[in-house]
Structure 1
Amino acid sequence: MPQLNLVYFAWVREAIGRDEERVERPAPDVTIRAFIARLAEQGGGYCQAFAEPDRLRAALDQRFVPLDSPIGEARELAIFPPVTGG
């Protein structure tokens, strides 16, 4: 099966306890929001990191996308809190 590289940043990474992992890529029509809901069901740090999905941002293959975007054939999904700066 095709793999999806998950990359985590900031407090998402801290809650899960790892920078990245490889998982089986879901069906192309599965949205990022639905996929992270499945990850949250694993409990522990995943549940903590993904408890409030509206606080998260995502990028597919290094392009920012809304959480309701389908994962499609992406090779990488990055998940992180909103970026702030001055």
Structure 2
Amino acid sequence: MDVLYFAWVRERIGQPSDRIDSAPVTVMDLVEELRAREDRYAAAFADLSALRVAIDQELSDFDAPLQGAREVAFFPPMTGG
């Protein structure tokens, strides 16, 4: 599965995406796996209230299942203007 990072999430991690070969069951399982990789991932995922997630380009929740997902994207909340 492809994991995409946008805005300050990408800046903290230092790259725009990752390819995950494991099979996390939920988004939260994926987050825990990413946090365990390195300090930069732990910093990016330290405050989940400041993040939104999309599975295959549809907004989702952190407890959503990932079965069959091809892409997961993490980004800060959108602001209007």
**TM-score normalised to the size of structure 2?**
0.91
Residues 9-44 of structure 1: per-residue CA shift (max 9 Å, x gap) = 0110000000112111414xx111221022101122
Aligned structure 1 segments of 4 or more residues deviating by more than 2 angstroms: none
* Aligned with 1:41 (options 24, 36, 39): 36
1:8 matched to 2:8 = no
C-alpha displacement of 1:67: 1.2
Which residue is equivalent to 2:48? 53
Tell me which amino acid in the other structure corresponds to 2:56.
Answer: D
Residues 38-83 of structure 1: per-residue CA shift (max 9 Å, x gap) = 2101122101101112221111111111111011111000011111
Matched length: 81
Identical residues among aligned pairs (%): 42
> 2:23 is paired with a residue of what secondary structure?
coil
Distance in 1 separating the partners of 2:65 and 2:75? 17
Q: Given that residues 6 and 76 in structure 1 are in contact (C-alpha distance below 8 angstroms), is that contact kept between their aligned partners in structure 2?
A: yes
Unaligned runs of 5+ in 2: none
Q: Given that residues 60 and 78 in structure 1 are in contact (C-alpha distance below 8 angstroms), is that contact kept between their aligned partners in structure 2?
A: yes
1:62 matched to 2:57 = yes
* Aligned with 1:32 (options 15, 27, 36): 27
**C-alpha RMSD over aligned residues:** 1.2
